[in-house]
Amino acid sequence: MGTEDRAQTETGGVATAAASILSVRDVHKTYKLGRVKVPVLHGVDIDVRPGEWVTILGASGSGKSTLLHLMGGLDRPDKNEGQRASIKFEGTELTKQSKRALDRYRADDVGFVFQFYHLLPELSVVQNVCIGAMILHGRIGYMRQRQGTIERATKLLERFGLGHRLKHRPMELSGGERQRVAIARALINDPKLLLADEPTGNLDLKTGQSILDTMIEYRERAGLTMVMVTHDERIAERADRVIRLVDGRVEGVPDSSIMGSEHPPA
């Protein structure tokens, strides 16, 4: 992202829905816990522009992970009367997509990074990274580009300092190394959108900073759009824009479709 764009954000510049890569409108989400309904999101509106790094900051239980899952097509918003929930990615309405289309969206356009890494324990490091490509391309497609995929996975892992760990299994890695593998897995299909759910939440400060540096460096080089969920103000400070989520609502913005950064750029 260029300085000019960032300046626009800093000064509370308008990010219109038309210019955004991801647009969230009037999204509500309620979970059922037995007979009790627990509302999590109360009409959230967010726009994310291409190449932007948006951090969603909020306390535990504020609904930030739920919002991330909705953006990633892992879940669907409520369909209540009078509400017109909409989540658009590059102009495509995700709420109206079939399951199959959402599977494709997650495989092709989105990369997920989780707080607890979520690696598959039976697979080696390089297999964990390649599995995203296997899912995306299917058997025949993957076999055609198997070599290329493995080379790309190897390069990513080398870039993240894991070139010597390719054949290792997740259990043999430190927390920081595991998260780097998870990031490489999220990036293997060259996604347009990286969704990260507290990626440093399970790491010590130094390792967390190192992981963050890795992600920032890659994002800047690849021009990747990134939405990161965190409760850590220090991480939020480094984002292009911060959206505060309190009790399922975007805080302090009358028109929540346009969110301004509250912090200077990193």
Partner 1 sequence: MYQALLTRKYLTRKIMPMLAMVAVMLSVATILVTWSVMGGFLKTLIESGRTLVGDVAIVWPNVGFGYYDELMEDLEADPMIAAATPSIETFGLIQLPDDRIELVSIKGVDPSSYSAVTGFGDTLWWKPIDGPTPKDHDGEDLRLQDENQDLMERVYNNGLRMMRENPATGIDEPAGVLGVEVTGLNYRTPWGGYEPWIGNRARPDGGIDRVELFMPNNGTVGLTVLSLDSNGRPVDPKTITMPIANEFQSGIYEVDQQTIMVPLDVLQRMLRLDAAQRVELVRDDENPFAVEEDPVTGEIRPKMREEIGLDPARVTTVLVNGAEGYELEAVRTRVQEIYTEFASRHKGEVPSAFDMKRQVKTWEDLNRTMISAVKKETGLVLFIFGIVSFTTVFLVLAIFWSMASEKTKDIGILRALGASTPGIAWLWIRYGAAIGIVGSVLGTAMGYWIVSDINAIHDWIGRTTGLVIWDPQQYYFIEIPSDVDPQKALIVFVVGVLTCVLGALLPAWHSARMDPVKALRFE
Q: How far is the CB of 140 from partner 1 (least distance, A)?
A: 9
CA distance 211 to 179: 8
State which residue, 137 or 238, has the beta carbon closest to partner 1. 137
Site for partner 1 contains 89 (CB under 8 A) = no
State which residue, 115 or 200, has the beta carbon closest to partner 1. 115
State which residue, 32 or 35, has the beta carbon closest to partner 1. 32
The answer to whether residues 58 and 64 touch, using CB atoms and an 8 Å cutoff, is yes
Number of H helices, E strands in the chain: 8, 10
Q: Closest Cα to residue 114, out of 71, 65, 155, 67?
A: 65
**111-150 binders of partner 1 (CB under 8 A):** 112, 114, 118-120, 122-123, 127, 131-132, 134-139, 142-143
Radius of gyration of the chain (CA): 18
- Considering only 64, 185, 238, 244, the residue that binds partner 1 (CB under 8 A) is 185
State which residue, 35 or 139, has the beta carbon closest to partner 1. 139
| Total interface residues for partner 1 by CB under 8 A | 32
CA distance 114 to 95: 23
State which residue, 196 or 242, has the beta carbon closest to partner 1. 196
The answer to whether residues 98 and 142 touch, using CB atoms and an 8 Å cutoff, is no
CA distance 228 to 88: 18
DSSP class of residue 123? S
Site for partner 1 contains 19 (CB under 8 A) = no
State which residue, 90 or 217, has the beta carbon closest to partner 1. 90
CA distance 185 to 191: 11
Q: How far is the CB of 84 from partner 1 (least distance, A)?
A: 23
Binding residues (CB under 8 A) for partner 1: these are 66, 69, 72, 74-75, 99-100, 103-108, 112, 114, 118-120, 122-123, 127, 131-132, 134-139, 142-143, 185
